[in-house]
Amino acid sequence: MSDDAALGWLGVPLAVVAGAIRVSTPFILVSLGECLTERSGRINLGLEGTLVLGAMTGYGVSYLSGSPWLGVLAAGTAGALFGLLHGWLCSLRRVNDIALGIALMLLGTGLAFFLGKALIQPTAPRLPTIPMGGWLGNEQLASALAISPLFLLGLGLAPLLAWGLRSTRAGLRLRTVGESADAARALGLSVDGWRIGATACGGFLAGIGGSYMSLVYPGSWNEGLSSGQGLMAVALVIFARWQPVRCVWAGLLFGGTSALGPALQSVGVTGGYYLFNAAPYVLTLGIMILTSSPHRTLAGMPLELTRIR
Amino acid sequence: MSEAVISDWPAAKETGHPPVVELFKVTKRFGSFTALENVSLCLKPGTLHALLGENGAGKSTLVKALLGYHVADSGSVMVGGHEVAMTHPTVAHGLGIGMVYQHFTLVPNLTVAENLVLSRDELPVVIDWAAERRRLVEFMATMPFAIDLDRPVAALAAGEKQKVEILKQLYLGRKVIVLDEPTSVLTQQEADEVLSLIRARVVAGQLSVLMISHKFREITAYADEVTILRKGQWVGSGKVADMTTKQMADLMMGGGTTVAAADRREGPPGEVRLRLESLRADDDVGVPAVDRVSLEVRAGEILGIAGVSGNGQKELVEVLAGQRRATSGVIRVDELPYTPTRTAMRRAGVHILPEEPLRNACVGSMSVAANLAFRDFDRAPLVKAGWFVSWKAITARARSLIERYGIRTTGPDAPIASLSGGNVQRAVLAREVDGTARVLIVANPCFGLDFGAVAQVRRRIMEARNGGAAVLLVSEDLDELLQLSDRLAVMADGALVHHTTPAATTPAELGKYMAGHP
Ligand SMILES: Nc1ncnc2c1ncn2[C@@H]1O[C@H](COP(=O)(O)OP(=O)(O)OP(=O)(O)O)[C@@H](O)[C@H]1O
Ligand SMILES: [Mg+2]
């Protein structure tokens, strides 16, 4: 408490930065995954379910094996399997991406709650963080700058994905499938195969994003763990115009503004607490409106997404 | 069996000569409809072979079977004397056979460079863009026309896309190229450029080409041999030098006659119907594309707009169709300011036949009947009791239009995207040029039509004019413009640079203005 007083108003930007780092990680991982999926011409709305399932799996495996890293891997695998299911079902005739996504979202959360009942009590080993602010000599600053390796994973993955989409065979082909199924077929590519693969990869990342929530921050398993992060991350992909690096910025912005309300409250500004909690949504909406134009199509949108029925 | 061919192939590749490609008794059915029946064709090495036939004769279906895009129901494909199971386009690509499809297969949001590199058969896992670019620039330097490698394909006009498609096949080093109507969106000069380029390689023995075309001029000038289809059947083949255009046309049409051109009804034109005042518009990436275009079209006259594709015609037509917003300027119809909405179009009688109609004027997955009803599905007689859409009436009307305009389809319920290219054009024409048009805007109306249909379409346009409609005809075909127009304007770089009349000008003069150096 004394630290808090010492920092005073300085605590607000600090809390925002710390929040940006801490809260943003699942947003970043899920939206990177969804970005990959959508670039192939599919939408997976089920990622909210994948996220919660990943959180439960990660926590459970970490508890049972004693290794949080094994938990992360298991969460990713569960997510990938769920993505595979989505991808495969979508390839059937007359199956709609959106409706199926919603069904899988409900299935994923339901399954996680059902299987995770026993995990609410026990404490699983958490994922360690990397202390990066120790040299500052201030405990609060140091704890704000304790960074999770999963955050760094998201940070590193974004430019890697951007590069991969531009400069690898797989990336170019994935984009072709997402832009024009006809062109892909004329090239001899299997459109469904690529989309199933991309959805599985997206699920893998979303699963890892889930494990962050149960193994890092907030760092426990319960049924109120997610408040729609998975769904919001899907929206952030549109906000980021399907660019991986922008997904990171979008996640950070969203995470940072979510920390604004609690931070202001801690320095005594209590008025408009709920209003500040709405800040991330207002901000993303505002930027969305400012950067869109009714006279242009949404720049960067994979064209096959417009054909989803 | 296919393994044998593939292992033989590298040897052939080294000598650089294309193999003999044969189609033997190919049959292809779509449901109960037989699109091809026992069709055979032999493409000899180092020849340019033309494939002729009416719209819907089965030409595209035949070449798609050759490429493995469709798998034939019976019959076989032989390459270099060996039978090959053409089950997939990659099999054909592996044998050095490539195709330019009738409907473009470039990826719109990728750049020209990405599109070219993407289709390479041995694409490395990681792409070294610096090296790829160097190779592309070197390759482009050997080509007679330049295309900006960094533009997204979506921003290119139809003619430029077609050039990229053809460049792509050459870049990939294909030995056998199939071209499905490669010149229908090119101007005569552009077509000659492209065809001479291909012809030179054919004569040098490096390439065989199978080309679908509706233009006899090109066939007699560039092709060695010809095969003719009618209604899915083989009806003749031989050396082009041994045949007259008349013989080829008779084989195509089965002796039927084509409609005569409509006479131009003389007399002074009426009042101004369509007036554009200093219209400007941007293209998809926000670059100005239409530059202060002012024009007027009177009742009972045809104003032709000539120009090389990519000079703003596409954007101009889109503005008039309400698909694109003008950045400034005014459109007037009957001297009143006009905003292209559905209601305004109906009230003012503005009808539009845009280019690439399957994309711009149809919903591909909806039926022919529904597409034919787009203009008036919500009014009597297609609506009963004020709000109830009568599918019976829509289907009945579609049947009569299909009959009257000779649209070849399996029925009014077939999705319009399953129609052959020329028949989509006829369907949209049937809907738009139905006699009630007061202002008619037409872009490249004969793109992809066989000569019989061309005569029919031009007659309809002339009849609309004679009936008092104001017609704006945007076209890349100078013959068409000179034949139909009362007045002509040339569009270059988004602006109207020259006004004249067909009697006072020549194709050569128009060509100079189109190229931007009068
Ligand atoms: N996928 C499909 N499903 C059903 N019918 C089809 C399909 N593809 C083609 N057809 C039909 O097969 C016939 C031949 O079509 P095709 O495209 O080969 O004609 P075409 O000779 O290339 O004509 P055009 O000169 O107009 O391009 C047409 O009547 C068409 O409606
Ligand atoms: Mg065709």
Q: Which letter does DSSP use for residue B46 in this model?
A: T
B2 falls within a domain: no
Q: Which pLDDT score, from 0 to 100, does residue B9 have?
A: 40
Count of domains in chain B?
3
From the list A180, A183, A293, A193, the residue with the least C-alpha distance to A241 is A293
What's the gap in Å between the CA of B171 and the closest CA on chain A? 15
pLDDT in tens, chain A (309 residues): 444 445 667 777 887 888 888 889 999 999 999 999 999 999 999 999 999 999 999 999 999 999 999 999 999 999 999 999 999 999 888 888 889 999 999 999 999 999 999 888 888 888 888 887 766 667 777 777 788 999 999 999 999 999 999 999 999 999 999 999 988 988 888 999 999 999 999 999 999 999 999 999 888 899 888 888 888 888 899 889 899 999 999 999 988 888 887 778 777 777 777 788 788 888 878 877 877 766 565 667 888 887 765
Write down the pLDDT at residue B456. Answer: 84
In this prediction, residue A4 carries a pLDDT of 45
Query: What's the order of all strands across the beta sheet hosting B272-282?
Result: B288-298, B272-282, B326-333, B336-337
Interface with chain A: mutation pick from B69, B111, B117, B118, highest number of A CBs within 10 Å: B118
Q: Which of A165, A167, A176, A308 to mutate to test the interface with B (most CBs of B within 10 A)?
A: A176
Residues B399 and B499 in one domain: no
Instruction: Verify cis geometry, omega within 30 degrees of 0, for the bond prior to B288.
Output: no
CB-CB contact of B480 with B446 (8 Å):
yes
CA of B184 to the centre of ligand 2 (A): 11
Reduce the DSSP state of residue B273 to 3 states and report it. Answer: strand
Q: Taking CB atoms and an 8 Å cutoff, what residues of chain B touch A295?
A: 324-325
Cα(B420) to centroid(ligand 2), Å: 5
Q: What is the pLDDT of residues B252-303, one digit of tens each?
A: 887 666 677 778 888 888 999 999 999 999 987 778 899 999 999 999 999 9
For the residues B30-50, what does the mean pLDDT come to?
Answer: 93
* Residues in chain A within 8 Å Cβ distance of B129: 166-167
Sheet holding B439-443, edge to edge: B350-353, B439-443, B470-475, B301-306, B487-492, B495-500
Taking CA atoms only, the protein residue closest to ligand 1 atom 27 is: B421
Q: How far apart are CA A103 and CA A92, in angstroms?
A: 15
B107 — contact with chain A (CB < 8 Å)? yes
The answer, yes or no, to whether residue B231 has pLDDT greater than 70, is yes
- Does B156 lie in the same domain as B28? yes
Residue B428 clears pLDDT 80, i.e. is over it: yes
Question: What CATH code is carried by the domain that includes residue B344?
Answer: 3.40.50.300
Q: Computed over its alpha carbons, how large is the radius of gyration of chain A?
A: 20
Q: What six digits make up the tokens of B30?
A: 């779509």
User: Domain span at residue B499?
Assistant: 272-365+420-514
The H or E element containing residue A304 is: none
CB-based contact, B384 to chain A, within 8 Å: no
Of B89, B106, B125, the CB nearest to A188: B89
Q: Report residue B69 as tokens.
A: 């895009």
Claim to verify: residue B119 and residue B218 sit in the same structural domain: yes
Say if B262 falls within a structural domain. no
Nearest CA to ligand 1 atom 6: B418
More confident of the two residues B411 and B2: B411
pTM for the whole structure:
0.79
Determine the number of helices (DSSP H) and then strands (DSSP E) in chain A.
15, 2
Q: Are residues B388 and B444 in the same domain?
A: no
Q: Structural domain boundaries of chain A?
A: 3-307
**pLDDT for res A136:** 66
- Length of chain B equals 518
pLDDT at residue B11, as a whole number: 37
pLDDT digits (tens, 9 = 90+) for B189-214: 788 888 998 999 999 999 999 999 98
Q: CA of A167 to nearest chain B CA: how many angstroms apart?
A: 5
Cβ of B452 less than 6 Å from ligand 1? no
Q: How far apart are CA B200 and CA B178, in angstroms?
A: 16
Please give the pLDDT value at position A130.
86
Q: Is residue B266 part of a domain?
A: no
Tell me, what's the pLDDT at B179?
94
What is the topology classification, in CATH, of domain A3-307? ABC transporter involved in vitamin B12 uptake, BtuC (1.10.3470)
* Binding site membership of B80 for ligand 1 (Cβ less than 6 Å): no
**CA B115–ligand 1 middle distance (angstroms):** 27
Same domain, B324 and B444: yes
Are B428 and B398 found together in one domain? no
B176-180, strands of its sheet edge to edge? B97-100, B176-180, B208-212, B48-52, B225-230, B233-239
Q: Is the CB of B482 under 6 A from ligand 1?
A: no
* Residues from chain A contacting residue B105 (CB–CB below 8 Å): 180, 182-183, 186
A100 CA from centroid of ligand 1 (Å): 34
- Tell me the pLDDT tens digit for each residue of A121-172: 888 888 888 887 766 667 777 777 788 999 999 999 999 999 999 999 999 9
Residues B51 and B88 in one domain: yes
Joined tokens for residue B376: 């008036």
- Given a contact cutoff of 8 angstroms between Cβ atoms, the answer to whether B36 and B232 are in contact is yes
- Is B127 within 8 Å of A169 when comparing Cβ atoms? yes
Q: Say whether residue B108 is in contact with chain A using an 8 A CB cutoff.
A: yes
Structure tokens at A31: 């939206």
Averaged pLDDT for residues B327-355: 91
- Packing angle between helix A229-239 and helix A279-291, nearest 10 degrees? 20
pLDDT confidence band for B8 (50 / 70 / 90): very low
**Domain assignment of residue B260, yes or no:** no
